[in-house]
Structure 1
Amino acid sequence: MKAALILACLLGTASAQTVLLPESMKAEVAGLAEKHPTLELDFYANAAEAKEKIATAEGYVGTPDEGLLETGAKLRWVHIHGAGIERYTALPKIKDGTVALTNFKIQQGPEIADHAFALLLSLTRNMAAYQRAQADGAWGRNDAKLPMIELRGRTMMVIGYGGIGTQVAERAKAFGMKVIAIDPKDLPISQTLDRSGKPDELDELLPEADVVVSCVPHTPQTEKMLGTAQFTAMKKGAYLINVSRGKIVDTDALVKALQEKKLAGAGLDVTDPEPLPKDHPLWKMDNVVITPHVAWASDQRPERQDQLVLTNLSRFARGMALSNRVDPAKGY
């Protein structure tokens, strides 16, 4: 690699660009520096070692904090593991654009969409009740307390029509559902989308939805965007599925809507607070399914994410625009 770098410099190409990565990625990036002579890859075993090495790095793959960014005076690019960026938008160098931020916002669409439907079907097909009966060794057919709902012909509202929301819509269409999207972007009508509205049209369109799925990032604009007014506007007997962030939903208002049977049920991979206290009423409700923020997990996720990092390392070495760059001002 050093010989290639010397040759590149003799030929007048750019000076070395150092990127600091987790040691776990050594095998995945093997050979990449040979393809890009100006790219130097360094590795860290833990957060302390990352801070020791960050001073010479122009790129970093991992979890940054303000101290690391300040020490990394040469940093121009940070890639984080995950889709949510609310922990990072206030960091000065990211907020002012000094350091470009990329994430896995599109890569996580398939598994999170699968999980959204796992939560929904757990409710509409009464799977939670039958699982409890199975654990007791009981046939349990008469123990079902929820109605058995068919999704065909129902309407799903997808709030946040990005990399996750579009995947949710694809699955909804496969179930024969109509899809309404809420998103600040102008969205074309397509095979997977019947109608769309802007965020200020949410309350107007909510009464049409049998299922509401939250796929939006957590920003000041989206915090508690589903509260008392929205649950009041929703169709009686509708379902809420949240696979985005817990703070999108006003938890107290959700509990009340469930207790008053305005909603038929809720499937929550995320909550506010997270985790919920052990005595929280949501744990005890038969029409609520809670999973511990695991919608992001899948067997195919690491391969997709490694490929994105490899692509961006190559683009970074060539001075090209990075894939999956996020806008800190927007929060996604």
Structure 2
Amino acid sequence: MSAARLRLAALVVALLLVAAPVVFGLVDGRTGVLVGLALSGAVAATGVCGYVVLRRVEERLRGLERGIARAQRPDRQPGRPGRPGQPGKQGKQGNQGRRGRGAARPQLPKGLVTQAHLKKERDQVAKRVQDITNLFDMVPIRAGIPPLGLWTASADLLVALVDRFVETRPATVVEGGSGVSTVVLALAAREHGIATRIVALEHDPDWADSTRRLLARHGVAEYAEVRVAPLGPTSLPDHHTPWYDESALADLSEVGLVLVDGPPEGTGPRARYPMVPLLRDRLARTCTIVVDDTSRPGDADVVDRWRPLLPDFEFETLRLDKGAAVLTRT
């Protein structure tokens, strides 16, 4: 608060303190004077409290401005000047910093939201809205579905999945896991008239029932089959993490689309690895494998381990919300 404004405020308060008793005294004598003095006291107390609050707010704002200003410039410690021909302490450290780490990056106060953070959040929200809009344009979803992208498939993954499903029109689709993706594929099959067989492997009987109810609610129960396949040992000699019961694969052939989104990560190391070695001989000549959650190191490692097993497939990484990979043989 400037000195001129402070003087003006003090003058106004003083005039009120003097004028109130005089005015009330002229109106009602001694009683009016007492009322005027009481009013003057209240005005004075309010003015003092307001002044104290304003000063505290002003001090906090100045402190925040100083903190931001310090954070936006590199730390510099005053050093002692060196002897002739030798750099001072500050100069020596500065040269080492420039040669080694480079200029210090400014550290903003913890919890401070910057324009860059807001822009990134805005872009992410806009992308997700666009993904959901695209999905609902591609598939007629007319009943409720669980929230996308939490424990379920994200909208951008479903868009990529439906896009490849409609383009390749596979005879058989196999999913590792079941849920919203099963419903979306079944809706796409009905909407686009694709004669396909959709089989979702599910280790949890309760979740399998939930997916079946969701399919029925959307009127596509006959388009997809949810198979309960308990987790257990596999026939792979070097893989010890449980996977779906291999007997669930016995009648599958000409698999043209695979979605790898199970078993859950907590099952064990490289839990999703068996899908390719156990299903490889059942894949169609034209085949697409979509892998979710490759932003997790374990799932990205699984995709890398498949490369020697699928030498005639092309590997592509998709920059989706949770990361994804697409393996294609045409």
When Rg is computed on C-alpha atoms for both structures, the one with the higher figure is 2
Ranked by relative contact order (alpha carbons within 8 Å, sequence separation 6 or more), the top structure is: 1
Normalised to the residue count of structure 1, the TM-score between the two structures is 0.36
Normalised to the residue count of structure 2, the TM-score between the two structures is 0.36
More helix by share: 2
